[in-house]
Structure 1
Amino acid sequence: METTRLNFKEHKLIEFPVEIRNAKNLTNLNLEDNSISIIPEWLAELQSLKVIYLSNNRIQNIDVLTQIPSLEVLHLINNQIRHLPDTIGRLQNLKRLYLTGNQLTSLPIAIGELRQLKHLLLGHNQLKSLPAWIAMLSRLEVLNLFDNQLKSLPTRLGQLEQLTYLQLSCNQLTYLPSGIKGLKKLTHLDFFSHYFEQLPEELMYLDALQHLNIGDNRLKRIEYIPSSVKGLSIYANPLEYIDDQVLISLKQVFANSYFAYLYIDTQQQANLKIKPEDYERAPHFQHVKVVDLQGQKMNLKRIRPDSYL
């Protein structure tokens, strides 16, 4: 039988095994959790490769990978990549590109040529801006920008009409662009740990939004939440007021869904007089989760109920 899959995960490798070179019909290759630093030139001979897992290695240069146009899924999480080659645009079949935990400071415009791309994970990098050409990724469904250095977002972000998941947390944002109103399929929006002093009005146009994390900002008042929301995280905000109708709406959602939640902190629980037991559907299940910030029992960056990688 011809080999189509090879798994070398956690094999303590420092280089690609040479036997891979002879697997001409290889489609799936897993080399995660090793100590590999260089991708050999001969890998480009494997023109049937569709999926390659290279996360948790020491790779810096991925030029060779751009010579394999058959690639559909590319896992490069937790490596040492500082730059992406302009030739990355050759990967016209690429659907998932995972680059979380690298050292990227910018993105080449060639990424905009990846018209089949559905998942783009860029969390835990050093990006200072998101280029407007991101709108060229018309099929993008998941965009993760967690923990970068972004101070603003392009208005054209709203042109990603297929986007369902947007992770923006732990950047330096103070507002959302007006164009975000165009994200009509967005179900998950996460922007905790920023400097928002009030809720962006643009949220009211997101009719499909179900999960919203706005924890660890500077919000003092919450007067509205999109009626479609069934999961809300507001912990670590100096809240003094939350509209009764917001809480009533959540109670109604909780009555019909086991997958709904409200994340608050101990101070908010006292100030807003929220009793978790008032939101229970059954004795064995609590919809309200109380984060003990005063007791420092939880790390804010780990409280991501709707995060993606």
Structure 2
Amino acid sequence: MASNKIRYLSDEICQLQKLIDFDLGDNELTCINSKLFTIHSLKTLAVQGNQLRNVPHLMEDGVCLRKLDLSNNNFDFIPVEILELKSLRHLNMSDNQIMRIDWNERMTNLTSVLEMNLKGNDLNYFSPLILQPLRDTLKILNLNENKLDCLPQQIGDLYYLEELYAENNLIKEIPDEIAFCTKLRIINLNQNKIDSLPVEMKRLNNLHILELANNNISLFSNTLATLTSLKKLILSHNEIEDLPLEMSNSTGMEYLDLSFNKFKTLPYCAYSMIKLKVLNLQNNQLSLLHGEVGNLFELEEIRLDENILEILPKEMCKLSLLRHLSVSNNRLGKLPKEKYLRKLEVLEYLNVSGNYFESFPIQIKSLINLKSLIYNQYDRNQKLEELPEELSQLSNLENAEFKYNAIWQIDAEPLSHLPKIKSIHLNNNKIERITDEFCKAENIQNIQVLSLNGNLLTNLPLNFDLLANLKHLDLEDNPVRLPPSTVCTAGNVRTIGSFIRRAISRNDALLLRAFELLKDKMNKHELRYLAHKFRLPEVEVTAIEKKHNAKQELHQRVLAILHLWRQENGEEANVERLIHILYIIGLEEAAELIRANLIYTQIVKF
């Protein structure tokens, strides 16, 4: 009965005497009918996402209730009736407005609770005595997103605690007594004000995950050196410069996040973490990465973005399981030679944006299983004027991203050789034109995302609607006139194509009418000057002049020159441009005649 805008439960609810699980989440309840608790078979009650402030007195009759979800309501205290639920194992009161939890003798009844969730309240105090009745049962305690400035010493009484979450609080230190929680597997204390770890934590021999991101840690002691069970360590957004050598014993480490710190090189102890799968060192001060990184044979993901690396060791190419490599915004001038790079046989993601390459690193073509290539350049970097032809050899590529370059045209080459390409991102280039050949290429017609914002496009090609699978089109910040931005913003390829075809058909008709008006309005010298302004091939202009060299054939020569201009310029050959050129060469009378005809046509249409 979830998500039904229910405001009230009728008394007939008590007739459901075999009801076990009842979900009333995301309705509009302001109270719970007390008759509900006469159903003694009820074990799970979910009323999250309502407007409750209290519970009925008869709730304490729910002797079999084991799971109660009151999250995302309007409670500012824990109702005493809940404290009578002796069989309760899971209590969720997250995302309410509870500020304090004071001791109540009825709390001694909560001796069966396995999980307590108080996330997302305004909690700034809870009595340490609350933890006493929970000491033999509580396994999961969630205090995330509150305003606590400390954890009580009595946390150490929770002998069976396995998971502790206190992310996004104001906690300044971890109590020594946490060492008595020897069954702890997960500790999440991200986004607090912790500056050190108690040495007693070395007794947490079952700890698998420790998260301490966004704290004030600058010196990391060897407290964790003996914790060989540790598999995931997150220390991002601190002020750490190094890790103790003793952490070489953490040979079971699989995930190490040291991003947004002050490391100048990968800590030596990390080279002993032979089971490491994910290594994140982005946004540090790394200037050197030792060749020993090649001994971390199980690495699948390395993030080295936003450092000052000038070279990648060729030994990194020994990482045969590496799938994700991100080294954007460093000072790399080259990549390892192709004979090394091709050993990264399963690499699927490569980001080399914002480096100091003088040209596109051609050895990337050897990464035949690459699915996503990111090569965004910025103001300080050498920009590409066209997509590199080496892309054509990446037959498994699905996503190509070349933002902030100087690419001026999108053509069928090299993208037409990519049978799996789905998304193309060319934002903030200098693209003036998308060729019709691009739209006609069979492989291109499979793309789903085309992002071109911040370019110089004025028109879309005639066959743009061949991109029938396109789901997301971004043309913001382009001076697009055909079709108008309102049509482009809607992103419907069929509508865009239909509009273009109608507009081109209309333009052709207007252009042919303009040609007819012009054929008798020019002498041969004016025509020769017009051909020069059209920038037509001299060879073809001369051929037309020879073919129609008689005086009486001048009007045929005029039409031939005009049609050649139309042929050479395609969609860019339109009436407005013709009028503009006529004004430039001084044929104002002819220009005004065509403009008057254009205005008349628009009036008649209206």
The alpha-carbon deviation at position 72 of structure 1 amounts to 0.6
**Residues 53 and 278 of structure 1, relative CA distance in 2, 3 Å threshold:** farther
RMSD, matched Cα? 2.5
> For 2:165 and 2:417, how far apart are their aligned partners in 1?
43
The corresponding residue for 1:221 is 334
**Residues 23 and 262 of structure 1, relative CA distance in 2, 3 Å threshold:** same
The alpha-carbon deviation at position 66 of structure 1 amounts to 2.4
Q: Is the 8 A contact 1:155 1:179 kept in 2?
A: no
The corresponding residue for 1:257 is none
> For 2:427 and 2:292, how far apart are their aligned partners in 1?
33
1:186 aligns with 2:299: yes
The corresponding residue for 1:3 is 113
Matches within 5 A, 1:223-238: 223-224=337-338, 225=341, 226-238=344-356
Q: Residue 283 of structure 2: SS of its match in structure 1?
A: coil
1:41 aligns with 2:159: no
TM-score of the two chains, using structure 1 as the length reference:
0.85
Matches within 5 A, 1:48-197: 48-63=160-175, 64-197=177-310
The alpha-carbon deviation at position 37 of structure 1 amounts to 0.7
> What do residues 213-254 of structure 1 show as CA deviations (whole Å, max 9, x unaligned)?
00000112234433332110011112223443422x34x325
The alpha-carbon deviation at position 282 of structure 1 amounts to 4.6
> For 1:221 and 1:117, how far apart are their aligned partners in 2?
36
The alpha-carbon deviation at position 156 of structure 1 amounts to 4.0
Q: Residue 279 of structure 2: SS of its match in structure 1?
A: strand
The match for 1:270 among 381, 384, 407 is 384
**Residues 77 and 134 of structure 1, relative CA distance in 2, 3 Å threshold:** same
Q: Which has the higher contact order (CA 8 A, sep 6+)?
A: 1
Q: Find the structure with the greater CA-based Rg.
A: 2
Unaligned runs of 5+ in 1: 255-259, 298-309
The corresponding residue for 1:23 is 134
> What do residues 141-188 of structure 1 show as CA deviations (whole Å, max 9, x unaligned)?
000000001112344422111100000111111111232221000000
The alpha-carbon deviation at position 266 of structure 1 amounts to 4.6
Q: Is the 8 A contact 2:221 2:243 kept in 1?
A: no
The alpha-carbon deviation at position 271 of structure 1 amounts to 5.1
Q: Residue 202 of structure 2: SS of its match in structure 1?
A: helix
Q: Is the 8 A contact 2:352 2:374 kept in 1?
A: yes
The alpha-carbon deviation at position 20 of structure 1 amounts to 4.0
Q: Is the 8 A contact 1:21 1:43 kept in 2?
A: no
TM-score of the two chains, using structure 2 as the length reference:
0.45
Q: Is the 8 A contact 1:87 1:110 kept in 2?
A: yes
> For 1:279 and 1:62, how far apart are their aligned partners in 2?
57
Q: Is the 8 A contact 2:212 2:235 kept in 1?
A: yes
**Residues 10 and 141 of structure 1, relative CA distance in 2, 3 Å threshold:** same
Higher helix share: 2
Q: Is the 8 A contact 1:195 1:217 kept in 2?
A: yes
> For 1:34 and 1:197, how far apart are their aligned partners in 2?
43
Q: Is the 8 A contact 1:235 1:291 kept in 2?
A: no
The corresponding residue for 2:531 is none
> What do residues 114-162 of structure 1 show as CA deviations (whole Å, max 9, x unaligned)?
1100000000000011222221101100000000011123444221111
The alpha-carbon deviation at position 202 of structure 1 amounts to 2.4
> For 2:209 and 2:187, how far apart are their aligned partners in 1?
6
Q: Is the 8 A contact 1:119 1:141 kept in 2?
A: yes
The match for 1:261 among 353, 360, 372 is 372
Q: Is the 8 A contact 1:241 1:272 kept in 2?
A: no
> For 2:238 and 2:297, how far apart are their aligned partners in 1?
28
The corresponding residue for 1:246 is 364
The alpha-carbon deviation at position 44 of structure 1 amounts to 1.2
> For 1:54 and 1:44, how far apart are their aligned partners in 2?
15
**Residues 6 and 292 of structure 1, relative CA distance in 2, 3 Å threshold:** farther
Residue identity over aligned pairs, in percent, reads 26
Unaligned runs of 5+ in 2: 1-86, 88-111, 392-399, 401-414, 431-453, 455-606
Q: Residue 126 of structure 2: SS of its match in structure 1?
A: coil
The alpha-carbon deviation at position 21 of structure 1 amounts to 3.4
Q: Is the 8 A contact 1:264 1:291 kept in 2?
A: no
> What do residues 64-114 of structure 1 show as CA deviations (whole Å, max 9, x unaligned)?
322311111000000000011111101111000001111111112121111
Which deviates more from structure 2 when the two are superposed, residues 130-139 or residues 72-81?
Answer: 130-139
The alpha-carbon deviation at position 280 of structure 1 amounts to 4.8
